[in-house]
Amino acid sequence: MEQETIRRKMGTISVIMIFVSIFIAACFSSYDYVAERKKLEESFNESIAPISKRLANSLEKPLWFLDENLARKLIELEMVNKRVYGVVVRESDGEKIFLSIQRDSNWQFVTSRENISGNFVVKNEKIFYGNKQVGHVEVYFTTRFIEDALRHLIIFMVVKVLVMSGCLVAVLLFIVNFFFVKPIAQVVKGLDVVRGEVDYASDRVASTGHKLIQGASKQASAVEETSSSLEQITSMTRQNTQNVTHANDLMIETSKVVAEAASSMTQLTSSIDTISKTSEETRKVIRTIEEIAFQTNLLALNAAVEAARAGQAGAGFAVVADEVRNLAMRSSQAVRNTAALIEASVEETKNGIDLIYQANEAFTNVASGAQKIGELLGEVTASSQEQAQGIEQVSTAMEAIGKVTQENVLSTEETASAIREIRIQVERLKDFVMKLVALIGKKSQKTPDKPKDIKSGSDFGRSSVPDHDRFLKNIKAALWNKSVFKHFSKSDKINSK
């Protein structure tokens, strides 16, 4: 229906062009007709002006002498000019006809005594012979030849207008077809191809935008998970650093306690050495006491023997000697018991000294280990600080990634909007191409088939655009409203001591 309307418009335009060309040619032909008519009228007036005067001059004698034959000859001589239809010569009263000659239907001369009637151009001249008026001459000129010439001119003009109009229309059609229709057809063909390519490219861009949106969604999810993991790692690192710092403090206190214990063990070892030396001296004293008791016992035995020899006189001395002997035996027994105890004490002291040396060595090893553990804890603390700095840098990088993700989402939204605009422009271009095709009356080539792998892109570019708009809005809300990047903006600082 639309193409039929366009064809009707084109037919109307063609008819208008034909009428305009005919009108223009008619205007020029009318101008030529008016100019030619004016030229013929001027030539006619110039040619008839002297005829009546010549006849008035030449007819003065024939009219004076009433010589009709001479007058007829003179009139016929002037009527050789076919513009002269007839001549009427009147006498001086102006009423009586002296001679009248006119043309018949065959355009031959006919003499009569009647007036000439009809649509003629009449020229009147008075005839004088000397100073006396002898008559009048009336010359009738016909415009038949001018009308015939103008009639032929009109026919020629009409033919010329038609021929010129036909030629002009043909030339215009040729020019329009060669300089406009063919280039427009080529442009339409190119536009049709471009439309197909733009449609294909828009589908490809739509497919790419769909993939970009999916990638942005996955990236946003990955960023959210990574940020959550980084938050947990940051918390764990902070806790580990605090624990390591506390352990380092405890190890420092332990090192101090171990150092004090080692110092006490050193003093204890020195005291036990002194006790051991004192025990040796005590053992020597006990040996001396034991020897004295043994000698006392021998002396008591000797005294008892001597008391026995003395008999009754030595009975008291024998009792004393016996008591001394008992005391010596008891002293010897006590010395032996004391020696055994001291020996056991010395033995235990030696064992204690060995244990103290071992404990001192163990405390020394513990102090050395505590120092090494302190150094390791210091290194762990430094590593934790470096790890915290690295995590902070990763947090900064994740924040940048988050911003890039937001920009990607915005770019994807703009891409979707651009794709919709491209779709609208492609449809408009398609309408324009169809109108141009209808105007030039040529069939448009089929648009090359699109690959099947961009179906999803086409769906994204057409029906699924609102869904993707909602999807983009959800991503933006997730990026702005959820606390995905909150711990990045806070820039957690891990205090290291």
Mean pLDDT along residues 397-413 = 76
Select the highest-mean-pLDDT range: 1-10, 73-82, 241-250, 306-315: 73-82
Residue 227: C-alpha distances to residues 219, 286, 360, 392, 400 (Å): 12, 84, 52, 12, 12
Q: Which residues contact 61 (CB under 8 A, 6 or more apart)?
A: 67, 70, 129
The C-alpha torsion from 187 through 193 and 195 to 196, rounded to 10°, is 170
- Whether residue 408 contacts residue 219, with contact meaning beta carbons closer than 8 Å, is answered with yes
Q: Report the candidate in 270, 254, 245, 497 with the shortest Cα–Cα distance to residue 368.
A: 254
Mean pLDDT of the chain: 75
- Note the pLDDT of residue 486: 44
> Is the pLDDT assigned to residue 155 strictly greater than 70?
yes
Mean pLDDT along residues 160-182 = 78
- Note the pLDDT of residue 452: 43
Q: Mind giving me the DSSP string for 242-295?
A: HHHHHHHHHHHHHHHHHHHHHHHHHHHHHHHHHHHHHHHHHHHHHHHHHHHHHH
Cβ neighbours, 10 Å, residue 408: 19
Mean pLDDT along residues 278-293 = 78
- Note the pLDDT of residue 290: 75
Q: Which residues contact 495 (CB under 8 A, 6 or more apart)?
A: 241
- Whether residue 174 contacts residue 128, with contact meaning beta carbons closer than 8 Å, is answered with no
Residue carrying the six token digits 């009792």? 319
pLDDT one-digit tens code per residue, 330-374: 777 777 777 777 777 777 777 777 777 777 777 777 777 777 787
Beta strands in 142-280 (DSSP E): none
Residue with the larger pLDDT of the pair 37 and 371: 37
- Note the pLDDT of residue 464: 44
> Is the pLDDT assigned to residue 457 strictly greater than 70?
no
